[in-house]
Amino acid sequence: MKYLVAVLVCVVLAEGIVKIPLQKHKSMREALREKGIELPYQDPALKYQADEFTSADMYINNYADTTYYGAISIGTPPQSFQVLFDTGSANLWVDSVLCNTQACNAHTKFNPQQSSTYSAKGQSFYLPYGAGSLYGVFGYDTVNVAGIVINNQEIGLSTNEPGQNFVVAKFDGILGLSYPSISAGGETPVMDNMMSHNMLDADIFAFYLSRGGQQGSVLSFGEVDSSLYQGQIYWTPVTSETYWQIGVQGFQINGHETGLCSQGCQAVVDTGTSMLTAPSQIMGSIMQAIGAQQSQYGQYMVDCSQINNLPTLSFVISGVSLPLPPSAYIVQNYQNGYQYCSVDITPTYLPSRNGQPLWIFGDVFLREYYSIYDRTNNRLGFASAV
Residues in the chain: 386
Which of 208, 203, 255 minimizes the C-alpha distance to 378?
A: 203
Strand partners, 124: 137
Strand partners, 218: 59, 208
Sign of CA dihedral 367, 373, 379, 381: negative
CA distance 138 to 158: 9
Strand partners, 130: none
CA distance 18 to 159: 49
Residues 6+ apart with CB under 8 A from 326: 290, 307, 308, 310, 311, 312
217-221 and 56-63 beta bridge pairing: antiparallel
From residue 185, give the alpha-carbon distance in Å to each of 77, 92, 128: 27, 11, 13
Catalytic residue positions, numbered = 86, 270
| SS3 state at 133 | strand
